[in-house]
Amino acid sequence: MSRRSTGERIDSASRVILAQPRTLFRAFTDAETMSAWRAPDGMTAKLLAFDARGGGGYRMVLRHEDPEASAEGKTRPGEDEVVVRFAELLAHERIVEEVVFVSDDPAFAGTMRFTTLFEPDRDGTKVTFRAADVPAGIKPEDHQLGMAASLRNLARLTE
């Protein structure tokens, strides 16, 4: 997980979700719940390992549902696999994940730092995703769509 980053790009997305910060934080620290919402549209998620504590982390495989997308995949045809370390778990406030894509393609090399912030809002909680050092192989428009979809899934699950 200490591979050098390939860039300094930062992508972000936010959404106000009608849920308390503790409910949202729990959605990140419960394996079954995380599997239910983390995958963007058109993909499913399967956790291979999960350790919800600072310094712990998880290994997840995201599978494309569309057979035409089977040629795509950062790890294998139709699959993206990530190894994630929880660099910080500050209950109900912030989660910092160090994400490494399992891939032989240098366009996906490096460690992406993915920060999630939970900020109380009069209508619930503002959840912000901030991805730093995004690998060059991830198109900005695809990343925006994926983060927005994950936020939408999180809202559906917790509201």
Q: What total of structural domains would you count in the chain?
A: 1
Tell how far CA 53 is from the center of its chain: 16
The answer as to whether 1 is a domain residue is no
CATH code assigned at 149? 3.30.530.20
pLDDT band at 2 (very low <50, low <70, confident <90, very high): very low
The answer as to whether 116 is a domain residue is yes
The answer as to whether 127 is a domain residue is yes
Q: Which domain holds residue 154?
A: 10-158
Q: What's the N-to-C CA distance of the chain in angstroms? A: 34
Tell how far CA 115 is from the center of its chain: 9
Size of the chain, expressed as the number of residues it contains: 159
DSSP state, 20? -
Q: What is the pLDDT of residues 28-47, one digit of tens each?
A: 999 999 999 998 888 899 99
The answer as to whether 63 is a domain residue is yes
The answer as to whether 143 is a domain residue is yes
Q: What is the pLDDT of residues 66-112, one digit of tens each?
A: 766 555 778 888 888 999 999 999 999 999 999 999 999 999 999 99
Contact 24, 127 (CB under 8 A): yes
Contact 151, 129 (CB under 8 A): yes
Contact 20, 125 (CB under 8 A): yes
